């Protein structure tokens, strides 16, 4: 996307070695794609926890809101406070469970909305907010089969009545979370949906149904938005341009927003028989030219990709050699002429003819793309690109 000589406003000190590029236009495009699946009255929550899956929470949140997101989702109170301090005013749900009065008071002060999963937790909230002038809006989460956070769906009425009886709290939302929405076999997802519907019906019969409901994550929204959107959907991975499963890739035209790039720092020739990197896990079968690249596992490049990783250089795939080290990795550039120190290597991203995605890495490692996106360390500066302009995130006045 960017070359150093095209970006005079970006600090050479921060970006001379390696960086992550975030295409905010792609984030906005992805939000608009999801909005096409939803009714105009359905809210879209942009899930920006974990620093927006490593993309930069504040910048991504602003872009998502401008494109049509109406809520933000985070995992912790500090994540929510960061968004409020940046001036973002839309409702923010904290999806993690809180158990300390200090956290509860901070949440109320910054007008964040909590997830309640047990009566004990609700009592902590009620005690911490006993002097509050207005009740705090809360989301009741039911466990319909995820076996993670959530109260037993069969006892939903009991829990909602208990929380409704606490003067400091107001139950405004009811939700749950799918465990298998990204699988082609929808049996378990349908079972969870039925349980959620059963809880809704019982609450409605007793006139205790909260005003708003939400259930669908990215995968469920892509699978069956008409029947699963309720009053809001929570879009995480899809916001960043990746599909949660191969069979869902064709539903929307999603654009990956993240690219990882680094510079060649050294080029050298090695003789046949030379070992490359720690442990000599690669031995040169003939004389070779190798390029040293300034990025390694301390930046989030998995060491398990050693001798498996391919990168893009000069619009072609190039093989990585030997063990990936803390700060550097090596490439076989024997067949490429004219390379020089400072040339850019793309580890995740696209060239004119090719593309490498977080899904490619995840498949090789036997993991998921969520983990890959969240793994890039903050030693790698984030460069935000939008409407052909770029800036460091977060901005550092001393470096701009």
326 is annotated as contributing to ligand binding: yes
Residue of 228, 196, 233 whose CA lies nearest to 218: 233
Strand 232-235, strand 288-293: pairing: unpaired
Catalytic, out of 49, 240, 261, 393: 49
Catalytic, out of 204, 268, 269, 278: 278
Concerning whether 49 is annotated as a catalytic residue, the answer is yes
148 is annotated as contributing to ligand binding: yes
Instruction: Quote the DSSP letter at residue 135.
Output: P
3-class secondary structure, 196: helix
Rounded CA gap, 393 and 55, in Å? Answer: 9
Rounded CA gap, 61 and 49, in Å? Answer: 10
Concerning whether 317 is annotated as a catalytic residue, the answer is no
What is the per-residue burial (b if ≥16 Cβ within 10 Å, else e) of 61-71?
bbbbbebbbeb
Rounded CA gap, 36 and 228, in Å? Answer: 15
How distant is the alpha carbon of residue 77 from its chain centre? 17
- Is 371 exposed, middle or buried (CB count within 10 Å of its CB: 0-12, 13-18, 19+)? middle
Q: Which residues contact 184 (CB under 8 A, 6 or more apart)?
A: 245, 247
Binding residues for substrate: 148, 326
Residues assigned a catalytic role = 49, 278
């Amino acid at each position: 996307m960017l070359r150093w000589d095209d970006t005079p406003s970006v600090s050479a000190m921060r970006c001379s070695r390696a960086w992550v590029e975030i295409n905010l236009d792609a984030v906005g495009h992805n939000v608009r794609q999801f909005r096409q699946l939803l009714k105009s009255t359905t809210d879209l929550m942009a899930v920006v926890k974990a620093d927006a899956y490593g993309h930069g929470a504040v910048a991504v949140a602003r872009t998502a809101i401008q494109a049509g997101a109406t809520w933000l989702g985070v995992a912790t109170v500090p994540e929510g406070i960061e968004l409020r301090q940046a001036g973002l005013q839309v409702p923010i749900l904290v999806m993690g469970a809180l158990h300390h009065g200090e956290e509860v008071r901070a949440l109320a002060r910054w007008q964040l909305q909590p997830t309640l999963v047990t009566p004990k937790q609700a009592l902590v909230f009620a005690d911490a907010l006993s002097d509050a002038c207005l009740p705090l809006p809360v989301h009741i989460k039911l466990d319909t089969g995820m076996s993670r956070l959530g109260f037993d769906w069969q006892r939903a009425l009991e829990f909602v009545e208990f929380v409704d009886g606490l003067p400091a709290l107001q139950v405004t939302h009811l939700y749950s979370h799918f465990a298998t929405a990204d699988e082609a076999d929808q049996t378990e997802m349908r079972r969870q949906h039925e349980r959620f519907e059963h809880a809704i019906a019982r609450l409605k019969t007793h006139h205790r149904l909260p005003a708003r409901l939400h259930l669908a994550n990215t995968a469920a929204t892509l699978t069956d938005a008409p029947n699963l959107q309720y009053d809001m959907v929570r879009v995480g991975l899809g916001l960043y341009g990746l599909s949660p499963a191969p069979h869902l890739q064709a539903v929307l035209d999603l654009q990956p927003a993240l690219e990882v790039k680094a510079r060649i720092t050294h080029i050298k020739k090695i003789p046949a028989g030379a070992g490359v990197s720690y442990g000599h896990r690669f031995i040169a079968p003939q004389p070779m030219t190798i390029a040293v690249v300034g990025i390694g596992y301390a930046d989030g490049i998995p060491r398990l990709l050693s001798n498996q990783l391919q990168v893009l250089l000069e619009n072609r795939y190039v093989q990585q050699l030997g063990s990936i080290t803390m700060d550097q990795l090596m490439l076989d550039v024997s067949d490429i002429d004219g390379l020089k120190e400072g040339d850019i290597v793309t580890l995740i991203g696209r060239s004119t003819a090719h593309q490498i995605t977080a899904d490619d890495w995840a498949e090789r490692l036997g993991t998921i793309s969520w983990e890959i996106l969240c793994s890039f360390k903050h030693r790698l500066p984030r460069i935000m690109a939008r409407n052909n302009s770029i800036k460091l995130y977060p901005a550092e006045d001393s470096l701009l």
